[in-house]
Amino acid sequence: VDECINNPCHVNATCDNQPGTFGCNCNTGFSGNGRTICNDVVECNDPTTCDANARCDNTIGSHYCTCNFGYSGNGKSCQDIDECVDPSRCPANSTCSNSPGTFTCTCNIGFTPVSGRCDDINECSRDPCTEDGA
């Protein structure tokens, strides 16, 4: 006799037919007694579910992890993206510095930032020389 034929378990559980009896086990992502209770497990309550540099989103019976901006990976493991590998990230006459999750562009010595570019500083425009040229 198949005791599971009448679906005696919770909707989020599976029935295990055994000789003369049956067992109910909550599906993956749910917890409870299997017969009357199978509550969603909120995996995101565990800080180790996703990488420290990822966002955890709970779904019914599961969850998903998404790496934060500036990181790549599957969400369980996220690595910093080195934006400075792409030479076009920063304007000409600047230096790119990678840091966790982001990067900065700094104009080189002798250049100044102007509208997203690094323009040459005209040192003579500040009249650093005296009248006799010294």
- Output the six-digit token pair for 23: 């067992």
Predicted pLDDT at 62: 96
Of the two residues 123 and 58, the one the predictor is more confident about is 58
Task: Tell me, yes or no, if the pTM score tops 0.95.
Answer: no
CATH of domain 43-79: 2.10.25
Per-domain residue ranges for the chain? Answer: 1-41, 43-79, 83-121
Predicted pLDDT at 126: 64
List pLDDT tens digits, range 7-56.
899 999 999 999 989 999 999 999 999 999 999 999 999 999 999 999 99
Class (C level, CATH) for 83-121: mainly beta
% residues pLDDT > 90 (the chain): 87
CATH architecture of 1-41: Ribbon (2.10)
